[in-house]
């Protein structure tokens, strides 16, 4: 049972409900903001602002709707606002944003990172090696290539294939569940 | 752009925290929600709604009465135990109200009343901490004399709080996992691995960003950066060892406070180099063109007789008070609720008064305070008679309350420092805090960026850590590391004197910046070596000659001491704890280089820049081992090696060999010397207390 459902069935204050939802969704919200903004600092600010706006407009939230997609909508608006204010060109056009939204709807929102780990475990060795070296040992693609005795282009390709495989795995996990 | 970016970011995020909560983010969010709620309440207060139930007013009245009763009771309790020290707390009452009330108990009650759901789970624990802090301050106050008491060593608490259980460290997985690359180019946290190949992050830098890592919570919720010590390295594989100097002393003072309070010491609170560098050593003053001299010494290693111990000491040139450069100082004072204890704000005011006495009409002082919002209390003011009075008055009127918005305060302080900038002089922010930067959307990474950028513009940062309970040691250390700064922990007025009276020129005036040390070991004499301490000060070897890479600064008269434990060639090395779980050295690596026949054991190279220079100067010195015993080494060598060994024991290091507290005592006693300042006697006393409690 998620936080929202729990709050409906018990006498938990709105603030408690909201805090629980923040706990449940903050990592995914941060991840989404980082995908849009491309860097950590702006992403954190955007997400903080988005949560605050969500809280200020809590009375307007329709409990039958999905909290995560509502929050993503706020983050998107904050991101557009940020780009306008800073005369910054977003790398995401509306079509790309809507495609990303479709993908995210197919992904598990709760326990996402646990599922990501499960998917990682399922990767074949040839794809897992570059992922571990690049993401988890903090090696550049050149260093990863060096460690795996392969070319940098091949490493980049393998990383891309690994990410595609992870995406497929994550979306199929949701459909299974 | 496509969904690939999302999975890319997801992997980076997973590498950072796996499935755990981003607690820092949640805490920040709760603060923002609190603030929002408070603002709403304020609006409600000013615009009472029609028809609101009178029950609410009655409930509020009851609450206020309870709070007032609690305050009166606590006040009485404090008064019954208090003396002159408490008078300082009374002065910290709200200037607006003019009321004379101890601010210490008020804030915790307010804080607890405003406790929010996410933090409900911690409320009990924090209440216990607050209670303990209050009791500590009462006991301390009762034991010390009115004014002079703070000048002597703090006495043993009457009934010390029960030693806290050690908090388990983060999982070993966290230690081994490298973070995402991000844009961190700070070489200080990067180091060459033992094979000399590739670079990784260790120490506390476990998260992406700018070197702010996973902090380890210690006693009372204090947070420490996680330190990973070096193992033995072979000069055949890694002939060079490079590190940045560190003149901070905060770790020792913090450990002293823990020992005096009978608390367990978190191994991550122990930075051995800061313990060693706390003490004065009788290194001769530099002669000639360079602002400091290098002194080296080698003897047998007291905790492993087969090993050798090398001491490298730097002595910075002393500058008399009369020759000190004009100073533009901005006092940035944390007056948030958490600073209200007797060992924080009142001690801070006393310490700053000491500093004020040392300044003259050439110097400028500004005063910025920060809590929920920042405020400029005093614009840059020349310290003539009128100015001195103005600053003193402003200090005396300080009161604590509200939550901390450190980031906004720092930005304002830099603005003021820039406005009153003295070209060629000392331009420095002196930030006094318990390190509880917990409000605002600015991340620690952004804060470090700001501090670094300002350091490049010749405004440096000194941080004074105060109090116990929520000292964010890891954060402060990283800010000062990045900001060409220094970090002191002030636990008593005596320490305030050391930093601001006798050591003022060293504290504020830099004689050399970006000071780096590189040692080259002769594989013909040295089979393995290990740098003791400096866990988060290591540099990449190639960055030694790279003048763009930032390193530590040295103040006038400062000393820096480092130890290397050496396993000479010919000594059995099978028992070296290599620290690696998954790798074992197969055979000695054969390198395509010939070992030059030389009697020298090592060469110390040192690079530094003039305070306003951009190009480094290099100094070189060699050391030859005469096979002497530590028993015949200098007093400084014996004492400092005792301090190092205590640090090794406190860190539960596997490199302690036959070392134990008896050996530490033996070393410290035999190296005590004249001890005019009483520092070494105090060390022995601490050691006695610590040994007795083990």
Q: Per-residue confidence at B295, pLDDT binned at 50, 70, 90?
A: very high
Residue of B nearest to A137 (CA): B178
Residue of A nearest to B7 (CA): A163
pTM over 0.80: no
Which residue is it, tokens 């900038």?
B421
Asked if A131's CB is within 8 angstroms of B19's CB, the reply is: no
The whole-angstrom separation of Cα B589 and Cα B437 is 48
Q: Is the pLDDT of residue A89 over 60?
A: yes
Q: Give me the DSSP letters along B361-391.
A: TT-EEEEEEESSSEEEEEEEEE-SHHHHHHH
Q: Is the pLDDT of residue A140 over 80?
A: yes
In DSSP terms, B362 is beta-bridged to none
Name every chain B residue with its beta carbon within 8 A of the beta carbon of A22: 26, 29, 118
Tokens of B654: 């596997």
Q: What is the pLDDT of residues B624-646, one digit of tens each?
A: 999 999 999 999 999 999 999 99
**C-alpha pair distances (Å), B377 with each of B118, B339, B360:** 35, 17, 20
Q: How far is B12 from chain A (nearest CA, A)?
A: 6
Tokens of A108: 């598990």
Asked if B443's CB is within 8 angstroms of A44's CB, the reply is: yes
Sequence-distant (6+) residues with CB within 8 A of B561 are B273, B276, B277, B281, B311, B312, B313, B314, B640
Q: How far is A101 from chain B (nearest CA, A)?
A: 9
Sequence-distant (6+) residues with CB within 8 A of B426 are B324, B325, B326, B327, B328, B329, B508, B509, B510
Asked if B7's CB is within 8 angstroms of A48's CB, the reply is: no
Q: pLDDT exceeding 70 applies to what percent of chain B?
A: 64
Name every chain B residue with its beta carbon within 8 A of the beta carbon of A34: 9, 12-13
Asked if B3's CB is within 8 angstroms of A103's CB, the reply is: yes
Name every chain A residue with its beta carbon within 8 A of the beta carbon of B19: 111, 113-114, 117
Smallest CA-to-CA distance from B596 within B563, B566, B622, B635 is with B622
Higher local confidence (pLDDT), B247 or B545: B545
Q: Is the dihedral of CA A107, A108, A114, A119 positive or negative?
A: negative
Asked if A19's CB is within 8 angstroms of B30's CB, the reply is: yes
The most confident of the ranges B65-69, B125-129, B266-270 is B266-270
Helix (H) or strand (E) holding A154: helix A152-176
Average pLDDT over chain A, rounded to an integer: 83
Give me the domains of chain B, ranges plus CATH numbers. 23-151 (no CATH), 172-319+510-578+590-693 (2.60.40.1230), 324-505 (3.40.50.410)
Asked if A44's CB is within 8 angstroms of B25's CB, the reply is: yes
Sequence-distant (6+) residues with CB within 8 A of B638 are B302, B630, B667, B668, B670, B671
The whole-angstrom separation of Cα A135 and Cα B180 is 6
Give CA B483 to chain center in angstroms: 13
Q: Per-residue confidence at B309, pLDDT binned at 50, 70, 90?
A: very high
Smallest CA-to-CA distance from B657 within B178, B167, B232 is with B232
Which of A23, A131, A164 is opposite residue B21, by nearest beta carbon? A23
Q: What are phi and psi of B74, to 5 degrees?
A: -65, -40
The whole-angstrom separation of Cα A76 and Cα A104 is 13
Q: What are phi and psi of B488, to 5 degrees?
A: -120, 150
Which of B10, B36, B182 is opposite residue A40, by nearest beta carbon? B182
Q: Per-residue confidence at B206, pLDDT binned at 50, 70, 90?
A: very low
The whole-angstrom separation of Cα A119 and Cα B325 is 62
Higher local confidence (pLDDT), B303 or A109: B303
Smallest CA-to-CA distance from B667 within B299, B260, B136, B270 is with B299
Q: Give me the DSSP letters along B232-288.
A: -B-TTT--EEEEE-----HHHHHHHHHHHTTPPPPGGG--HHHHHTTS---PPPP-S
Name every chain B residue with its beta carbon within 8 A of the beta carbon of A103: 3, 6
* ipTM score: 0.91
Asked if A135's CB is within 8 angstroms of B11's CB, the reply is: yes
Strands (E) located in chain A = none
The whole-angstrom separation of Cα B130 and Cα B135 is 9
Asked if B18's CB is within 8 angstroms of A16's CB, the reply is: no
Task: Answer for the pair B337, B372: CB distance below 8 angstroms, yes or no.
Answer: no
Task: Answer for the pair B523, B239: CB distance below 8 angstroms, yes or no.
Answer: yes
A134-159 burial string, b = 16+ CB within 10 Å, else e? bbbbbbebebbbbbbebeeeebbebb
Give me the domains of chain A, ranges plus CATH numbers. 3-100 (1.10.1740), 112-176 (1.10.10.10)
Q: What are phi and psi of B315, to 5 degrees?
A: -120, 115
Strands (E) located in B160-238 = 190-192, 199-201, 215-217, 223-225
Name every chain B residue with its beta carbon within 8 A of the beta carbon of A139: 178, 198
Which of B7, B8, B22 is opposite residue A26, by nearest beta carbon? B22
Q: What is the pLDDT of residues B367-382, one digit of tens each?
A: 888 765 567 888 999 9
Q: Give me the DSSP letters along B1-25.
A: --HHHHHHHHHHHHHHHTTS--HHH
Asked if A96's CB is within 8 angstroms of B36's CB, the reply is: no
Task: Answer for the pair B222, B125: CB distance below 8 angstroms, yes or no.
Answer: no
Q: How far is A53 from chain B (nearest CA, A)?
A: 10
Sequence-distant (6+) residues with CB within 8 A of B202 are B175, B189, B191, B228, B535
Name every chain B residue with its beta carbon within 8 A of the beta carbon of A51: 29, 32-33
Q: What is the pLDDT of residues B354-369, one digit of tens each?
A: 888 888 899 999 988 8
Asked if B14's CB is within 8 angstroms of A30's CB, the reply is: no
Helix (H) or strand (E) holding B89: helix B84-91
Specify the 3-state DSSP secondary structure of B139.
Answer: helix
**C-alpha pair distances (Å), B54 with each of B48, B114, B161:** 12, 22, 45
Q: pLDDT exceeding 70 applies to what percent of chain A?
A: 89
B485-504 burial string, b = 16+ CB within 10 Å, else e? bbbbbbbbbebbbbbbeebb
Tokens of A55: 């809280």
Q: Is the pLDDT of residue A154 over 60?
A: yes
Q: Tally Cβ neighbours within 10 Å of residue B580.
A: 11
Q: Give me the DSSP letters along B104-125.
A: HHHHHHHHHHT--HHHHHHHHH
End-to-end CA distance of chain A: 14
Q: What are phi and psi of B567, to 5 degrees?
A: -105, 110
Tokens of B511: 């004689």
Tokens of B176: 């081994």
Asked if A160's CB is within 8 angstroms of B117's CB, the reply is: no
Q: Tally Cβ neighbours within 10 Å of residue A93.
A: 10
The most confident of the ranges A136-150, A155-169, B204-218, B581-595 is A155-169
Residue of A nearest to B6 (CA): A35
B369-382 burial string, b = 16+ CB within 10 Å, else e? bbbbebebbbebbb
Q: Taking residues B606-618, what's their average pLDDT? A: 87
Average pLDDT over chain B, rounded to an integer: 71
Q: Is the pLDDT of residue B347 over 90?
A: no
The whole-angstrom separation of Cα B243 and Cα B607 is 11
Q: What is the pLDDT of residue B74?
A: 46
Residue of B nearest to A159 (CA): B8
End-to-end CA distance of chain B: 60
Instruction: Tell me the count of A-B CB pairs closer than 8 A.
Output: 138
Looking at chain A, how many residues does it have?
A: 177
Q: Per-residue confidence at B420, pLDDT binned at 50, 70, 90?
A: very high
**C-alpha pair distances (Å), A48 with each of A52, A86, B257, B490:** 6, 18, 37, 34
């Amino acid at each position: 049972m998620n936080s929202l459902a729990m709050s409906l069935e018990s006498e938990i204050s709105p603030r408690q409900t909201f805090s629980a939802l923040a706990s449940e969704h903050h990592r995914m919200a941060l991840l989404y903001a980082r995908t849009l903004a491309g860097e950590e600092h702006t992403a954190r600010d955007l997400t903080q602002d988005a949560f605050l706006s969500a809280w200020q407009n809590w009375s307007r939230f329709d409990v039958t709707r999905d909290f995560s997609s509502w929050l993503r909508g706020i983050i998107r608006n904050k991101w557009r606002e940020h780009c306008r204010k800073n005369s910054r060109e977003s790398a995401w056009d509306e079509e790309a944003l809507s495609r990303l939204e479709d993908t995210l709807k197919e992904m598990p929102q709760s326990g996402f990172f646990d599922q990501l780990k499960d998917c990682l475990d399922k990767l074949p060795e040839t794809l897992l090696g570059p992922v571990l070296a690049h993401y988890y040992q903090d090696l550049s693609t050149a260093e990863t290539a060096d460690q795996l005795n392969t070319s940098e282009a091949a490493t980049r390709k393998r990383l891309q294939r690994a990410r595609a495989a992870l995406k497929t795995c994550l979306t199929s996990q949701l459909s299974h569940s | 752009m496509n969904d690939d970016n999302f999975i890319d970011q997801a992997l980076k995020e997973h590498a950072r925290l796996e499935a755990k909560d981003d607690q820092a983010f949640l805490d920040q969010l709760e603060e923002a929600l609190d603030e929002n709620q408070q603002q709403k309440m304020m609006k409600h207060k000013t615009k009472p709604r029609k028809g609101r139930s009178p029950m609410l007013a009655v409930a509020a009245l009851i609450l206020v009465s309870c709070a007032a009763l609690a305050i009166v009771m606590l006040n009485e309790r404090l008064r019954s135990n208090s003396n002159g020290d408490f008078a300082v707390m009374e002065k910290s009452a709200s200037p607006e109200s003019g009321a004379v009330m101890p601010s210490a108990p008020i804030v915790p009650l307010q804080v607890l009343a405003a406790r929010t759901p996410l933090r409900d789970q911690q409320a009990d624990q924090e209440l216990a901490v607050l209670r303990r802090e209050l009791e500590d301050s009462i006991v301390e106050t009762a034991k010390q004399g009115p004014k002079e008491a703070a000048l002597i060593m703090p006495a043993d608490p009457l009934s010390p709080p029960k030693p806290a259980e050690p908090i388990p460290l983060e999982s070993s997985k966290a230690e081994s996992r490298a973070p995402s690359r991000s844009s961190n180019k700070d070489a200080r946290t990067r180091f060459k691995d033992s094979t000399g190949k590739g670079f990784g992050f260790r120490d506390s830098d476990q998260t992406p960003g700018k070197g702010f890592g996973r902090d380890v919570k210690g006693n009372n919720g204090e947070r420490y950066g996680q330190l990973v010590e070096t193992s033995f390295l072979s000069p055949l594989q890694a002939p060079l060892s490079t590190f940045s100097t560190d003149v901070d002393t905060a770790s020792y003072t913090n450990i002293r406070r823990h020992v005096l309070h009978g608390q367990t010491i978190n191994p991550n609170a122990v930075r051995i180099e800061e313990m060693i560098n706390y003490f004065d050593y009788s290194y001769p003053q530099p002669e000639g063109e360079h602002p400091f001299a290098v002194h080296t010494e080698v003897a047998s290693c007291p905790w492993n007789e087969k090993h050798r111990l090398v001491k490298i000491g730097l002595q910075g040139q002393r500058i008399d008070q009369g020759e000190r450069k004009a100073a533009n100082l901005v006092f940035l004072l944390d007056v948030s609720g958490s600073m209200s204890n007797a060992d924080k704000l009142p001690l801070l005011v006393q310490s700053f008064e000491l500093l004020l006495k040392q300044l003259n009409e050439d110097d400028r002082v500004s005063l910025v305070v920060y809590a929920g919002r920042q405020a400029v209390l005093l614009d840059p003011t020349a310290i003539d008679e009128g100015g001195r009075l103005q600053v003193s008055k402003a200090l005396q009127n300080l009161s604590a309350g509200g939550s901390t918005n450190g980031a906004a305060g720092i930005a304002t302080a830099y603005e003021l420092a820039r406005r009153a900038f003295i070209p060629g002089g000392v331009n420095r922010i002196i930030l006094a805090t318990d390190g509880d930067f917990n409000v605002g959307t600015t991340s620690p990474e952004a804060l470090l960026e700001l501090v670094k950028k300002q350091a490049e513009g010749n405004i440096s940062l000194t941080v004074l850590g105060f109090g116990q309970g929520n000292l964010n040691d890891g954060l402060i250390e990283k800010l000062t590391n990045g900001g060409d700064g220094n970090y002191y922990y002030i636990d008593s007025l005596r320490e305030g004197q050391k930093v601001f009276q006798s050591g003022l020129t060293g504290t504020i005036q830099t004689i050399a910046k970006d000071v780096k040390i590189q040692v080259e070991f002769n594989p013909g004499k040295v089979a393995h070596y290990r740098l003791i301490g400096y866990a988060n000060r290591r540099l990449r070897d190639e960055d030694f000659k790279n003048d763009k890479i930032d390193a530590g600064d040295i103040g006038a008269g400062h000393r820096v001491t480092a130890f290397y434990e050496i396993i000479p060639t010919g000594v059995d090395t099978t028992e070296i704890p290599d620290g690696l779980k998954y790798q074992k050295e197969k055979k000695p690596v054969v390198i395509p280089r010939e070992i030059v026949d030389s009697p020298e054991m090592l060469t110390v190279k040192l690079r530094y820049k003039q305070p306003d220079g951009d190009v480094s100067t290099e100094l070189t010195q060699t050391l030859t081992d005469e096979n002497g015993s530590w028993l015949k080494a200098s007093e400084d060598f014996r004492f400092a090696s005792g301090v190092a060994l205590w640090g090794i024991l406190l860190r539960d290091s596997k490199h302690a060999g036959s070392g134990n507290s008896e050996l530490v005592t033996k070393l410290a006693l035999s190296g005590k010397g004249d001890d005019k300042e009483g520092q070494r006697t105090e060390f022995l006393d601490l050691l006695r207390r610590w040994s007795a409690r083990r």
